Structure 1
Amino acid sequence: MITSFFKKSKSINFIIVFFIALLALLIGKLGVINSTLDFNFFVKLAGLVAIVFGSILLLNFIVNKNSLSQKDNYEMLLFSLFLLLITPTTQHTNVLISNLFILLALRRLISLRTPKNTKEKLFDAAFWIGIAALFYFWSVLFFALIILSLILFSDGNLRHWIIPFLGILTVFVLSVAVSIIFYDNYFQFIDQSFSVSFDFSTYNSLSYIIAITLLFSFGAWSSMFYLNNIKKKKKAFRASFTTIIFAAIIAFLLVIIVPSKNGSEFLFLFAPLAIIITNYIEVIHEKWFKEIFLGVLIFAPFILLML
């Protein structure tokens, strides 16, 4: 019943997804609010809503444009549910903006499967990752995804390997120039906190333990089938599917090493994980198991809200 409802693209699906995302935003922001519900609060909230909704629509575009699923909108539903599962992901504006730019970079990298405008795609991907790093430094790890993508798409053109570094250099030069002009400081816009931390004590709460266990258990289980099914895909699309699994691995490493573990770091994992789990849901043959699998993912965030 649940799976058949989202099987086809319907406007009601988008409404449900946006409602869940909006609920996650409201719970996240109201949980840390230190001021009254004034006009400024609602202006900022409207901006965050635009960023989150934009991220969801961009994820849906990436998936449909590159045939990463059967166009059943599961990835949008899962992304919004993950936001509700770990609401701190909606509390930090800089992380939300950074993740949006990472999605823009991912869009360009996956499109490398077609040889058209390769130089522009590589430059854009590096540029967006550089911008993302200005908002959240450790998102720079996704630069490795460009190198991995070049390997996956078997690109032996030396100029293509140089272009991503030019994209990052462009962001660096522009940020330094703006810093000098407006702040009389070379590195005002560059986050210089390059430290790492392996202190996971922040996650030592029942809600975090349940949410993280759910994410990684469902993600790991789905990944095994995802990897096994890549070789069954058309040759032209295999590299794109492999790019998603590498994006998930990089996001996982980011979660492990970031110095400030406040929950927002999981946001970078949501998009690739949503795609991976969507692909698994689509290949489940047992109707009852598919319903239970998706049902747990749907109801778990709402149950956690009551804890």
Structure 2
Amino acid sequence: MITSIFNKSKPINFILVFFITLLAFIIARIGQVNEGDTLMFVIKQVAVLFIAYISILLLNFIASKNSLTIKNNYEILLFSLFLLLITQTTSQSNVLLSNFFVLLALRRIMSLRSQKDVKRKLFDASLWIAIASLFYFWSILFFGLIIFSHILYVDNNIRHWIIPFLGVFTIFVLSIAISIVCYDSFFEICNITPQVSYDFSNYNSLKYLIAITLLFSFGIWSSIFYLQNIKKQKKAFRASFKIIIIAAIIGFLIVTQVPEKNGSEFLFLFAPLAIIISNYIEIIQEKWFKEVFVSILVIIPFILLML
């Protein structure tokens, strides 16, 4: 039943996905009720929720535009369920904004496939990732995605290799200029905290252990079939599928590297993982197994809300 609903793109799918996202958003903020009911607080929360919704639509656009999924909405369903699975991913506005800019960069990177306006697309992608790093430093690792896509899509023109670095340098210079003008300090708005921590003790709770086990077990299993399925894709789209795998690896690296492991860091893993698992769902032949597979992904986040 669940698979029949999301098997094709329908308006009702987006309504259900937005409801799940709203639920995750509310659950994450139950403990913040005493923070105040001021108008400014409400406006800020509505703005952050809007960013989450736009991120979902952007993910859907990237998947459909690049034929990463076959005209269904599994990827946005999974993305919203992942938000509900680890609700802390919606609690940090800086992480949500950073992930939004990473998705904008991913959109520009994918568009390199057309080989049109290559210089502008490389520059735009590096700009978005540099801006993302201002909100959450470790998202700068996604700059590696530009380098990887450059190898797949672009020729060996030396100017094409220089452009991404110019984009990052541009944001760096602008952020310093704004810091000097507004705060009389060089690095006030530069959130540069390159500390690393491998202390995973914050994940030592039943909810985290179940959530992480679900993400990685389903993700790794789906990735095996995803990699095998790349060869079956049209040659023009194979690079896009490879980029998603690299994005998932970078998202995993961010989870392992960040110094403050509060759960929000998993957000960078959700978009590529949602696409990878969606691809596996599409190729499952046994209807009963597909239903069970998707049902587990749907039911577990709601069960964890009761723990």
1:61-210 map, 5 Å: 61-210=61-210
The residue that corresponds to 1:279 in the other structure is: 279
Quick check: 1:304 aligned with 2:301? no
Aligned-pair CA distance for 1:184:
0.7
Equivalent position SS for 1:67:
coil
**Whole-Å separation in 2 of the counterparts to 1:232 and 1:160:** 30
Equivalent position SS for 1:60:
helix
The residue that corresponds to 2:28 in the other structure is: 28
Letter in 1 for 2:300: A
**Whole-Å separation in 1 of the counterparts to 2:154 and 2:143:** 17
The residue that corresponds to 2:58 in the other structure is: 58
Larger displacement relative to structure 2 (114-123 or 187-196): 187-196
**Whole-Å separation in 2 of the counterparts to 1:271 and 1:175:** 28
Equivalent position SS for 2:67:
coil
Cα distance change of structure 1 residues 139 and 33 upon mapping to structure 2, 3 Å threshold: farther
Does the Cα contact within 8 Å between 1:134 and 1:191 map onto a contact in 2?
A: yes
Letter in 2 for 1:178: I
Structure 1 residue runs of 5 or longer lacking an equivalent are: none
Does the Cα contact within 8 Å between 1:108 and 1:121 map onto a contact in 2?
A: yes
**Whole-Å separation in 1 of the counterparts to 2:161 and 2:87:** 38
**Whole-Å separation in 1 of the counterparts to 2:115 and 2:210:** 43
Equivalent position SS for 2:188:
coil
Aligned-pair CA distance for 1:31:
2.9
**Whole-Å separation in 2 of the counterparts to 1:150 and 1:35:** 46
Q: Count residues in correspondence.
A: 307
**Whole-Å separation in 2 of the counterparts to 1:31 and 1:58:** 29
Equivalent position SS for 2:35:
coil
Quick check: 1:219 aligned with 2:219? yes
1:256-275 map, 5 Å: 256-275=256-275
- Residues 202-227 of structure 1 show CA distances to partners (whole Å, capped at 9, x for unaligned) of 00000000000000000000000000
Equivalent position SS for 1:175:
helix
Letter in 1 for 2:281: I
Aligned-pair CA distance for 1:145:
0.6
**Whole-Å separation in 2 of the counterparts to 1:33 and 1:139:** 30
Equivalent position SS for 2:194:
coil
The residue that corresponds to 2:242 in the other structure is: 242
Aligned-pair CA distance for 1:5:
1.1
Aligned-pair CA distance for 1:249:
0.1
Q: TM-score with structure 1 length normalisation? A: 0.98
Structure 2 residue runs of 5 or longer lacking an equivalent are: none
Alpha-carbon RMSD across the aligned residues, in angstroms, is 0.9
Does the Cα contact within 8 Å between 1:32 and 1:91 map onto a contact in 2?
A: no
Aligned-pair CA distance for 1:39:
2.5
**Whole-Å separation in 2 of the counterparts to 1:31 and 1:219:** 30
**Whole-Å separation in 1 of the counterparts to 2:194 and 2:48:** 26
- Residues 240-287 of structure 1 show CA distances to partners (whole Å, capped at 9, x for unaligned) of 000000000000000001000000000000000000000000000000
Q: TM-score with structure 2 length normalisation? A: 0.98
Aligned-pair CA distance for 1:36:
3.1
The residue that corresponds to 2:293 in the other structure is: 293
The residue that corresponds to 2:13 in the other structure is: 13
Does the Cα contact within 8 Å between 2:115 and 2:154 map onto a contact in 1?
A: no
Quick check: 1:40 aligned with 2:35? no
Aligned-pair CA distance for 1:37:
3.1
Does the Cα contact within 8 Å between 2:130 and 2:171 map onto a contact in 1?
A: yes
Does the Cα contact within 8 Å between 2:130 and 2:140 map onto a contact in 1?
A: yes
- Residues 166-218 of structure 1 show CA distances to partners (whole Å, capped at 9, x for unaligned) of 00000001000000111111111112321100000000000000000000000
Ranges of 4+ aligned residues in structure 1 off by more than 4 Å: none
Aligned-pair CA distance for 1:33:
4.1
